[in-house]
Structure 1
Amino acid sequence: MRVRSVMSAEFKQASEDVVMQAVNDGRLSADQPSLRKHHARQRRAALAAALIAEWSLPSDIDAVALLASAPRLRRQIELIAENHALHFGVAE
């Protein structure tokens, strides 16, 4: 798996899209906590999916669905993407 930086254009675009989706989801699920939690989990998975540049899994697998159901994998991708030393060779 190859992971993009959180500073990548793809991730920034996904972040903007997620903000717009959050506004729409907030209107729909304001009085339903379980639905609100589901939407938040889906948005976070969508952000993590935008960080995946390539992977060895079959192309028919939905990255957002996989990351929504596998929070530990999602978190590992987020940690790698946040590590600037890995992406830019910056000493920590």
Structure 2
Amino acid sequence: MNIRTTCFGALALAVFSGTAFAGALDSPKMMEPFFTDSGMKTMKSDDEMKAAWAAMSKDDQAMMMKECQDAAMSKPYAPFCEKLKALGGANK
């Protein structure tokens, strides 16, 4: 019985913590304003990206820049992170 409870607890922890690991760069809600398509393959123009960046809260901006500065997290989003840095995101 004790092993069953331990296994169930470990499984529950893994399921619930999995959503906590998803960051701003993995969130469609956070990324949609920067892309022209629903598949998030084509980035908007520099002016549109700058406007979307300015419309975000300072907390969201800080979270995105923190993730962009983490090499492991930003690797799949390298072009996006480079665009944010070029638009002045790194200086905010």
TM-score, normalised to structure 2, is: 0.26
Q: Flag the structure with higher strand content.
A: 1
Q: Flag the structure with higher helix content.
A: 2
TM-score, normalised to structure 1, is: 0.26
- Bigger Cα Rg: 2
